[in-house]
Amino acid sequence: MKQGRPPAEEPTTNRRVLQDVALNLASYAASLFAMLLYSPYLVSRLGVAAYGFVPMTINAVQYLGVLTGSLQLSAGRSLSAALQDEDEARPSAVVSTALWSILGVLTLLSPALLLLAWRADRLLQTPEGLEVDVRWLAIGALSMFTMTSLAGVLELVAYVRGRFDLRSAMVVASTVVRVGVPVALISALGPRLRYVGAGLVAGALVHLLGAALSARRLLPSLRVSPRLASAALLRELASVGGWTIANQLGVLLFLNADLLVVNRVLGSKASGDYALVLVWSTLLIAIGSAVANAFGPRILTTVTGGRREEAAVIARDGVRLVSLLMALPVGLIAGFAGPLLRAWQGPGFEHLAPVLTLVVLLLGLSIGYQPLASVFLALQALRLPSLVQLVSGTFSVSCGFLLARHTQLGLWGPALASGLTLALRSCLFTPLHAASLLGLPRRTFLQQVVLAALATLGVTGLGRLVSSLLSPQGWFQLGAAASLVAAPYLIVAWFLLLSTGQRAALAQRLRRRS
Q: Express each pLDDT in 100-109 by its tens digit.
A: 888 888 888 8
How would residue 2 be classed by pLDDT, with cut points 50, 70 and 90?
A: very low
The CA-based dihedral angle spanning residues 500, 503, 508, 512, taken in that order and rounded to the nearest 10 degrees: 180
The answer, yes or no, to whether residue 6 has pLDDT greater than 50, is no
Predicted local distance difference test score (pLDDT) of residue 425 = 83
- Which residue type occupies 147? M
Cβ neighbours, 10 Å, residue 451? 17
Neighbours of 501 (CB within 10 A): 16
Residue 319 has pLDDT above 70, yes or no: yes
Largest CA distance in the chain: 68
Alpha-carbon distance 461 to 445, whole Å? 25
- Rg (Cα) of the chain, in Å, rounded? 22
Which of 78-87, 253-262, 296-305 comes out lowest in average pLDDT?
78-87
Q: Give yes or no for residue 132 having a pLDDT over 50.
A: yes
The pLDDT value given to residue 12: 47
Interval 251-268 mean pLDDT:
79
Q: Is 509 exposed, middle or buried (0-12, 13-18, 19+ CB in 10 A)?
A: middle
Of 215-224, 250-259, 308-317, 401-410, which has the strongest mean pLDDT? 401-410
Note the residue count of the chain.
514
Q: Between the CA of residue 28 and those of 168, 287, 288, 403, what are the distances in Å?
A: 8, 6, 10, 34
Closest CA to 197 of 109, 118, 135, 268: 135
How much is the pLDDT for 10?
45
For residue 23, what pLDDT is reported? 60
pLDDT at 506: 54
Instruction: List the one residue out of 227, 101, 226, 228 whose CA is nearest residue 153.
Output: 101
Q: How many helices (H) and strands (E) does the chain have?
A: 23, 0
pLDDT, one tens digit per residue, over 88-101 is: 778 888 888 888 88
Task: Using a pLDDT cut of 90, give the percent of the chain over it.
Answer: 17
Strands in 297-372 per DSSP E: none
CB 424 within 8 Å of CB 284: no
CA 117 to chain centre: 24
Specify the pLDDT at position 235.
77
**SS3 state at 98:** helix
Is residue 422 within 8 Å of 366, Cβ to Cβ?
yes
Question: Is pLDDT of 285 > 80?
Answer: yes
Stretch 148-162: mean pLDDT, rounded?
83
pLDDT band for position 14 (50/70/90)?
A: low
Return the pLDDT at 336: 94
pLDDT digits (tens, 9 = 90+) for 200-237: 999 999 999 998 898 888 888 888 888 888 777 777 77
- Identify the CA nearest to 255 among candidates 283, 224, 227: 283
The beta strands (E) that lie in 242-350 are given as none
Stronger pLDDT, 240 or 316, i.e. the higher one: 316
Q: What is the pLDDT of residues 425-474, one digit of tens each?
A: 887 888 888 888 888 888 888 877 788 888 889 999 999 999 999 889 88
Tell me: the pLDDT tens digits for 347-395? 888 899 999 999 999 888 888 888 888 888 777 777 888 888 888 888 8
Q: How far is it, in rounded angstroms, from Cα 11 to Cα 477?
A: 40
Domain ranges within the chain, ordered by starting residue: 11-513
Report the pLDDT value the prediction gives residue 505, as an integer from 0 to 100. 57
pLDDT digit string, tens, across residues 63-75:
776 667 767 777 7
**Of 252-266, 294-308, 314-328, which one has max mean pLDDT?**
314-328
Q: How confident is the model at residue 503, as a pLDDT?
A: 64
List all residues 6 or more positions away from 428 whose beta carbon is below 8 Å from its beta carbon.
none
How far is Cα of residue 322 from the mean position of the Cα atoms in its chain? 13
Residues 36-80 have pLDDT tens digits of 788 888 988 888 888 888 888 887 777 776 667 767 777 777 777
pLDDT band at 27 (very low <50, low <70, confident <90, very high): low
Calculate what percentage of the chain has a pLDDT beyond 70: 85
Model confidence, pTM: 0.71
- Which CA distances in Å does 376 have to 141, 247, 279, 306, 434? 30, 11, 28, 15, 7
Residue 501's pLDDT band, with cuts at 50, 70 and 90, is: low
- Amino acid present at 378: A
pLDDT over 80 at 166, yes or no: no
Rounded Cα gap, residues 28 and 277, in angstroms: 19
Q: Report which of 112, 111, 132, 110 is spatially closest to residue 121, judged by C-alpha positions.
A: 132
